[in-house]
Amino acid sequence: MLRASQYSPVTRFDLARTIAGRGRYWTTAYLVDGLLVDSGCAHTAGELCAALAGERLACIVNTHTHEDHIGANGPLQRQHPQAPILAHPAALPLLANPRALQPLHPYRRLFWGWPQPSQARPLADGEFVCTERYRFRVIFTPGHSPHHLCLYEPDQGWLFSGDLFVGGEDRALGAGYDIWGIIASLKAVLALPISRLFPGSARVREAPHQELQAKIDYLEALGERVLDLHRQGWGVNAIARRVCGPPMLVEALTLGHFSRRNLVLSYLAGREHRHTRRNGDQPDGATP
């Protein structure tokens, strides 16, 4: 299922596999002046390719390599061979061989599917990706994944945030995510004069600084509660129940890949770095 909407001059594509007549677990791609930001999931690759068949595609930038953001890379590369795929340097091996290097849980295969291989070129932190009318600064923003990046257009104040910011108050986290890295990366983009934020899912935000700050405040306060209970001798599962509430449907659906326990463990794993990160120091590779 594909739905297109316009935030002139940005075209937004909301993409989801259709199950029982409804789109399930949507992801988003954006097209602006020939630049495609992310490519959705494998199950919707045909629809996105059809939507872009008549477009002048100059390049594709992947914000990270999760399967719901790279799913049409391979088909689009064949359809538009002149358009290079650009990504974080550490992402390139995975893009070239996603099935071997990024095994998918059953729920991920169901909702998003296996991406086909694609060949990409590396981006540097602080580099500009230029189209005919715009220039997009690459900002490395690790946390959601080690090789996550955002694109910022300084003249327009646009931020394409991938999955760094999608709103809400998190009570679960994916295995391997770095919660303190997410906080530090959110602080890095908060320092930018952003007029419009284009997330990798959820609604577009106008003048999003208040929401970004609220997200940082929430995550930091939650982390301090976790660390305080841990200092008191509480175990991980007890902390998870206390600060994140009762069991969640997403935990059962993902067989624990997203869980309250993972969130607590991530806070504890990075606790030695929290003071520098809380004071606004940038994560490795991030540009203020």
Contact 122/108 with Cβ under 8 angstroms?
no
Average pLDDT over residues 15-27: 92
Q: How far apart are CA 262 and CA 186, in angstroms?
A: 20
Predicted confidence at residue 281, as pLDDT, reads 45
For residues 78-106, give the mean pLDDT.
Answer: 96
- 174-214 pLDDT tens trace: 999 999 999 999 999 999 999 999 999 989 999 899 999 99
Provide the terminal-to-terminal Cα distance of the chain, rounded to the nearest Å. Answer: 37
114-165, pLDDT tens digit by residue?
999 999 999 999 999 999 999 999 999 999 999 999 999 999 999 999 999 9
The secondary structure of the chain in percent helix, strand, coil, rounded to multiples of 5, reads 35, 25, 40
Residue 221 has pLDDT above 80, yes or no: yes
CA dihedral sign, ordered 78, 84, 87, 91: positive
pLDDT value, residue 166: 86
> Among 104, 34, 100, 40, which Cα is nearest to 68's?
40
Say how far apart CA 245 and CA 208 lie, in whole Å.
28
pLDDT for res 271:
74
Judged against a pLDDT cut of 50, whether residue 282 lies above it is answered with no
- What pLDDT sits at residue 279? 44
Q: Pull the structure tokens for residue 94.
A: 């995975």
CB 45 within 8 A of CB 32: no
Residue range 4-9: mean pLDDT, rounded: 96
